[in-house]
Structure 1
Amino acid sequence: MDTVLEYKSILMQGTLVTVSLAVLSLLLSVLLGLLAASLKLSSSLMARRIGNIYVTLVRSVPDLVLMMLIFYGGQALVNHLGGLTGWWDYVDLNQFIAGVLTLGFIFGAYMAETFRGAILAIPAGQHEAAVACGMNRFQVFRLVTWPQMVRHALPGFSNNWLVLVKSTALVSVIGLHDLVWNAVSAGRSTQQLFSFLSAVLIIYLCITAVSDLCLRKLDRRFSAGVERR
């Protein structure tokens, strides 16, 4: 482990990249999840179809394949459009941005199902009562739908977040110097790959433990006054 400690700065840099990637991907996935959930609950048939296509596509294609398609295919598409229009020169897509876009796109679909189920769990009579009290749509969402949706969505949201954290390891295949990339590179150069991967395991466990603690506190906050069964 002495060798691992010598490379601790590199591992910490990789950890910072991994955590930043996970947090930004989570924010994007929440936005896409709310949008997709709204589409799937819409009264418009076209909107529901768009939401269903998005969720089905993500569920059907492996995460690694989507990662490669967005990084390589997306870059080729952007450069092709630039060549046709003449609006920009060659664009080199950043690995970090590609990772955020891919993970956000993937987990946005899972968040959509989580949010949709949470919204459906709220009794319809509460929305009707809020409207009867003179609330507009924004007030109904902020004061009635959102607090209860968060409470119902937290178990699924927590699971999605923990899976997202683990899925950040996928970005190493496109060359992003995250925790896994740095650890594997250091392990190969020192011929102590097992030791470095063990360090990665411990770091991921620490991230998961801190996340679990924060999510439990959030759950207690939004479940205050709710009877546990």
Structure 2
Amino acid sequence: MATLELLGFGSTGWGALLLAATALTLAVTAAALAIGAVLGTIVAGAKLSGNVLAVALGNVYTTVFRGVPELLIIYLIYFGGSSAITSVGKALGYEGFLGMPSFAAGALAVGIISGAYQAEVFRGAYLAIAKGELEAAAAIGMSTGLRFRRIIMPQVLRFAIPGLGNVWQLSLKDSALISVTGLAELMRTSQVAAGSTRQYFLFFIVGGCLYLILTSLSDQVFNRAERRANRSMPSAAMGKA
């Protein structure tokens, strides 16, 4: 079968399935990044709080989830979550196995991993804020909430954009591991297409190219966001002058 026919959008082609899998990869990565942003914000706040227990818990979180293999975390979330759901189902009188949805398990697992990295990104971004600005805001009687909205949040986001871009790329690649749960994302679909047609080299190369396209486009998005954020901050221009 011709290569163009295999990659086409006809009845025997895999083009539509590969594009759908690419969209699913983006969706699960975006969901994981959102989950990680929430967890990362909480953990960064704990590590910056000065509370001994909160700092210790934050350090444990970032150490564990940055040190344990990603695939192991996915297995724990997927199979552990399925076991927990099944146990709850049995307690409610339902017989049989209840599996955790692959998308939810994958997004949660990659999100937990992403959260460990985002916590360090946000913590570093906060520490990059000039202390004089925070002291001046407190001196003029600015409330904690107003300081957060007007000074802390805009600058943390500004300083965090490059790091968040790296975390996004990491999560995008980690999403390939979710294929072990059966989710038909890009890696899984490439494997199925390769196995069905025996064209392993072709479909794995195509899958790799699609990942490269996603990462290249992501780089452009984050680079543009970084330029936009710096352009809106006069202090950035003055610092570069």
How would you bin the TM-score normalised by the shorter chain? over 0.9
Alpha-carbon separation, structure 2, partners of 1:56 and 1:106: 10
String of CA shifts for 1:10-47, please: whole Å, max 9, x gaps.
10111111010011111111111111000111122111
Alpha-carbon separation, structure 2, partners of 1:88 and 1:159: 46
Paired residue for 2:240? 228
Paired residue for 1:24? 31
Paired residue for 1:102? 109
Higher RCO (CA-CA < 8 Å; seq separation 6+):
1
CA contact (8 A) 1:11 1:183 kept: yes
TM-score (norm 2): 0.89
Q: Aligned to 1:143, what secondary structure does the other structure show?
A: helix
String of CA shifts for 1:143-172, please: whole Å, max 9, x gaps.
101121122212211111111111110000
Quick one: which amino acid aligns to residue 224 of structure 2? K
Give the counterpart of 2:7 among 4, 9, 14: 4
Paired residue for 1:91? 98
CA contact (8 A) 2:21 2:184 kept: yes
Quick one: which amino acid aligns to residue 4 of structure 1? L
Alpha-carbon separation, structure 1, partners of 2:203 and 2:184: 15
Q: Structure 1 residues 143-152 or 16-25, which shifts more?
A: 143-152
Mapping for residues 66-215 of structure 1, pairs under 5 Å: 66-83=73-90, 86-87=91-92, 89=94, 91-215=98-222
String of CA shifts for 1:77-136, please: whole Å, max 9, x gaps.
3333554xx347453210000000000001100000111011011122211211222221
Q: Aligned to 1:122, what secondary structure does the other structure show?
A: coil
Alpha-carbon separation, structure 1, partners of 2:37 and 2:175: 16
Q: Structure 1 residues 127-136 or 7-16, which shifts more?
A: 127-136
Q: Structure 1 residues 151-160 or 6-15, which shifts more?
A: 151-160
Q: Structure 1 residues 3-12 or 104-113, which shifts more?
A: 3-12
Alpha-carbon separation, structure 2, partners of 1:168 and 1:197: 16
Alpha-carbon separation, structure 2, partners of 1:116 and 1:77: 33
Alpha-carbon separation, structure 1, partners of 2:101 and 2:111: 15
Paired residue for 2:67? 60
Paired residue for 2:41? 34
CA contact (8 A) 2:83 2:99 kept: no
Extract unaligned runs of 5+ from structure 1: none
CA contact (8 A) 2:43 2:119 kept: yes
Return structure 1 stretches of 4+ with deviation > 3 angstroms: 87-91
Extract unaligned runs of 5+ from structure 2: none
Distance 1:50 1:88, change over 3 A: farther
1:183 Cα offset (Å) = 1.3
CA contact (8 A) 2:179 2:188 kept: yes
Alpha-carbon separation, structure 2, partners of 1:33 and 1:103: 13
Q: Aligned to 2:73, what secondary structure does the other structure show?
A: helix
Alpha-carbon separation, structure 1, partners of 2:226 and 2:71: 32
TM-score (norm 1): 0.93
CA contact (8 A) 1:122 1:145 kept: yes
